[in-house]
Amino acid sequence: MSLTPPLPGALGLLALTALAACGRTTPRAVAGAAPDLVVYGRVWTGDSARPWAEAVAVSGDTVRAIGDSAAISALAGPSTRVLGAGTGMVVPGFMDGHLHFTDGGFQLASVDLRPANSPEEFVARLKAYALERRPGEWILGGNWDHERWPGAPLPRREWIDSVTPDNPVFLYRLDGHMGLANSAALKAARLGRDTKDIAGGVIVRDPSTGEPTGVLKDAAMAPVDRAIPQPTDAQRDAALRRALAYAASNGVTAFAHVSVVPADLGTYLRAKAAGALTARAALYFPLETWRAVADTVARLGRGDDWVWIGGVKGYVDGSLGSTTALFYAPYADDPKTSGVLVTPEDSLRAWIGAADSAGLQVAVHAIGERANGLLLDIYDSVAQAHGARDRRFRIEHAQHLRRQDIDRIARLGVIASMQPYHAIDDGRWAEKRIGPERIKTTYAFRSLLDRNVRLAFGSDWTVAPIEPILGIHAAVTRRTLDGKHAAGWIAEEKIGVEEALRAYTSGDAYGVFAERTRGRLAPGYKADLVLLDQDLTRIPPDAIERTTVRATVVGGRVVYQAR
């Protein structure tokens, strides 16, 4: 998503057993009162040694016992709540390793331009939404995708000026690395023909007049972002509530919120104080603010299981869809560019090194081959300079990789934080961008797993849908959204259902240092689990996407149940 402003000192707001192995038939129970909750079904535990059980008993916020249904049933009492998955399955709570959570909450109440299949539909949807807005109110969000339109033209401000005469408008492309501003928004941001180019971004201009077309890429979006009024606390709280409810309905019990803006921290803390959190949040603040983050962690700690300061997140490049992902060679469909280095290399090296010295976990966005290669160079040099420790460097996206860099990710122990839905979305058009050779190692799930790289799957919501089920379907089938790759796009990179489940559970737990308490169903682990209406391991891969969530449990509390 778009770059975030520096984090002020207000970050200081946050004050913040050896576990039994999972048994298959004989429950290992803690003596005492009857469990609060018992869940029946075909239970995938996430424990590779003993992956299956028939029931789970929960006391408080913790898994108390797991085993066969008869043994677990014997523990239940008259006040024990009972849930059943029927012919479906029970899995550890899904985690989302990379998303923009409060942005998602705002988008749920904003104009939805993702389904627009033509410029005309794009404009019509915006017009209908604008008619319901107050004069002067900013219209934001959108998530448009010009690759769905015939010929894939970039939009222009002239398209939307006439239907938004009373409102400034800034509409993000779905990847968050490009946006369309109408004339009122450009005026508010003081962007015009005489505006100089902005380092790390692109102001798209009319070739005949030099005037901005309204499309801004990466760092060039910052002037408009600064002109947009900040939401109130009440608006932020409402957005978080919407996002939490939506996440619960899709089985998401924990997530890593990346590119957190300062005000988000207060939003999470207010929700926690009110007992309103229904998912666990790991927060990653802008990389350039590492000092403020480190100072806060040193004074007050990282937080707890509900709100945890994960570390810092930076950017190397932009996105493939915006032609700002950074490659060694030019784009096949736009030879005048090979992408954009969003953050200067010297800044990346300095900030990553400083953050690592301060003991913070570092996660950095890298899409193109050159971006990934540069980031691995930096990670390698920092690790050698600072010595061995459990630092768990993360590459966010790791989308286009050279073969030698797949090997380097494995050698360096870097976590590949990836979003499988992007593969079936980008797969509609990615080859026209970078050609048939570079495409062979795109979203290389199989190659990474075969080298024992830890995968942490997520959605990048709002860039893609938050639903983990759709991500599992994408990783297993690699069937693109246009239906043109029935056997799978780059089919050799498909993975199995249980491998995808691990990437959405224990892989994500490892990605935020939570693998000792989350990511599997075993006595002593947090009682975060999901009931599904189908057993993903017993249905054809094509049917995975039709699976629905029956119930979501977080910390032993049922936070969603289908009607």
* DSSP states along 106-130: HHTTSEE-TT--SHHHHHHHHHHHH
Q: Mean pLDDT throughout 166-176? A: 93
- Residue 63 domain-assigned (yes or no): no
Q: Is the pLDDT score of 12 beyond 80?
A: no
Q: Mean pLDDT throughout 30-34? A: 70
Q: Which amino acid is at 261?
A: V
Which of 6-15, 209-218, 384-393 is least confident? 6-15
The one-character DSSP state at 455 is: E
Per DSSP bridges, beta strands 169-173 and 178-181 are antiparallel
Is the domain of 490 the same as that of 356?
yes
Domain boundary among the residues 172, 198, 227 is at 227
Residues 484 and 476: their CA atoms lie apart, in Å, by 16
Calculate helix-pair angle for 403-412, 369-386, nearest 10 degrees.
Answer: 30
Question: What are the residues whose beta carbons fall under 8 Å from the beta carbon of 528, sequence distance 6 or more?
Answer: 92, 93, 253, 254, 280, 518, 553, 554, 555
Helix (H, G, I), strand (E, B) or coil at 274: coil
Write the DSSP assignment of 436-454 as a string of letters: HHHGGGBT-HHHHHHTTPP
Look up residue 458 and give its two tokens.
């997520």
pLDDT computed for residue 234 by the predictor: 97
Within 13 A of 177's CA, how many CA atoms are on the CB side?
24
The model's pLDDT over 500-543, given as tens digits with 9 standing for 90+, comes to 999 999 999 999 999 999 999 999 999 999 999 999 999 999 99
Three-state secondary structure readout of 493-559: HCCCHHHHHHHHCHHHHHHCCCCCCCCCCCCCCECCEEEECCCCCCCCHHHHHHCCEEEEEECCEEE
Which of 19-33, 311-325, 439-453 is least confident? 19-33
pLDDT computed for residue 175 by the predictor: 86
Residues 33 and 53: their CA atoms lie apart, in Å, by 22
Q: Mean pLDDT throughout 370-380? A: 98
pLDDT computed for residue 176 by the predictor: 86
Is the domain of 340 the same as that of 441?
yes
Bond preceding residue 213 cis, omega within 30 of 0: no
Paired strand residues for 55: 40, 67
pLDDT computed for residue 397 by the predictor: 98
Q: Mean pLDDT throughout 133-154? A: 94
Among residues 258, 176, 160, which one has the least CA distance to residue 217? 176
Give the dihedral sign, CA 249/254/260/266.
positive
- Residue 490 domain-assigned (yes or no): yes
- Residue 223 domain-assigned (yes or no): yes
- Residue 456 domain-assigned (yes or no): yes
Domain boundary among the residues 227, 250, 276 is at 227
Among residues 403, 359, 354, 353, which one has the least CA distance to residue 375? 353
pLDDT computed for residue 49 by the predictor: 81
Residues 256 and 280: their CA atoms lie apart, in Å, by 9
Query: What percent of the chain clears pLDDT 90, i.e. is strictly above it?
Result: 91
Is the domain of 468 the same as that of 321?
yes
- Given pLDDT bands bounded at 50, 70 and 90, which one contains residue 276? very high
Q: Mean pLDDT throughout 396-422? A: 98
Q: Is the pLDDT score of 94 beyond 80?
A: yes
- Residue 470 domain-assigned (yes or no): yes
Domain boundary among the residues 197, 227, 257 is at 227
43 contacts 57 by C-beta, under 8 angstroms: no
549 contacts 532 by C-beta, under 8 angstroms: yes
- Residue 498 domain-assigned (yes or no): yes
Q: Mean pLDDT throughout 247-259? A: 98
Residues 525 and 522: their CA atoms lie apart, in Å, by 6
Is the domain of 366 the same as that of 493?
yes
pLDDT computed for residue 429 by the predictor: 95
Q: Mean pLDDT throughout 180-196? A: 95
383 contacts 64 by C-beta, under 8 angstroms: no
- Given pLDDT bands bounded at 50, 70 and 90, which one contains residue 16? very low
Taking the CB of residue 426, how many other CB atoms lie within 10 A of it? 26
Q: Is the pLDDT score of 2 beyond 50?
A: no
pLDDT computed for residue 80 by the predictor: 98
pLDDT computed for residue 264 by the predictor: 94
Residues 253 and 514: their CA atoms lie apart, in Å, by 13
Look up residue 555 and give its two tokens.
């910390």
**Burial grade of 134 (CB within 10 A; 0-12, 13-18, 19 or more):** exposed
* Domain containing residue 346: CATH number: 3.20.20.140
Per DSSP bridges, beta strands 394-397 and 361-366 are parallel
Is the domain of 456 the same as that of 346?
yes
Question: H-helix or E-strand containing 298?
Answer: helix 290-300
Domain carrying residue 421: 316-518
Among residues 447, 446, 474, 445, which one has the least CA distance to residue 459? 474
344 contacts 334 by C-beta, under 8 angstroms: no
Residues 316 and 378: their CA atoms lie apart, in Å, by 11
Is the domain of 345 the same as that of 457?
yes
Q: Is the pLDDT score of 206 beyond 70?
A: yes
Is the domain of 330 the same as that of 222?
no
Paired strand residues for 63: 58
Look up residue 85 and give its two tokens.
């998955």
pLDDT computed for residue 10 by the predictor: 39
Q: Is the pLDDT score of 444 beyond 80?
A: yes
Query: What percent of the chain clears pLDDT 70, i.e. is strictly above it?
Result: 94
The model's pLDDT over 41-67, given as tens digits with 9 standing for 90+, comes to 999 999 888 899 999 999 999 999 999
Is the domain of 216 the same as that of 333?
no
Phi/psi of residue 108, each to 5°? Answer: -60, -20
- Given pLDDT bands bounded at 50, 70 and 90, which one contains residue 107? very high
Q: Is the pLDDT score of 19 beyond 50?
A: no
- Strands of 152-194 (E only): list them: 169-173, 178-181
- Given pLDDT bands bounded at 50, 70 and 90, which one contains residue 174? confident
Look up residue 317 and give its two tokens.
């490049």
- Residue 413 domain-assigned (yes or no): yes
Among residues 234, 235, 233, 255, which one has the least CA distance to residue 244? 255
Question: What are the residues whose beta carbons fall under 8 Å from the beta carbon of 469, sequence distance 6 or more?
Answer: 250, 251, 532, 544, 545, 547, 548, 549
Q: Mean pLDDT throughout 313-334? A: 96
**Residue 153 Cα to chain centre, angstroms:** 27
Q: Is the pLDDT score of 6 beyond 70?
A: no
pLDDT computed for residue 300 by the predictor: 87
Tally of domains within the chain:
2
Average pLDDT over the chain, rounded to whole?
93
CA distances from 324 to 56, 92, 178, 299, 328 (A): 48, 37, 9, 39, 12
Q: Mean pLDDT throughout 168-177? A: 92
Radius of gyration of the chain (CA): 23
* Domain containing residue 156: CATH number: 3.10.310.70
The model's pLDDT over 144-161, given as tens digits with 9 standing for 90+, comes to 999 999 999 999 999 999
Is the domain of 502 the same as that of 366?
yes
- Given pLDDT bands bounded at 50, 70 and 90, which one contains residue 471? very high
Residues 263 and 410: their CA atoms lie apart, in Å, by 36
- Residue 357 domain-assigned (yes or no): yes
Look up residue 123 and give its two tokens.
């404009």
The one-character DSSP state at 343 is: S
Q: Is the pLDDT score of 558 beyond 90?
A: yes
**Residue 301 Cα to chain centre, angstroms:** 24
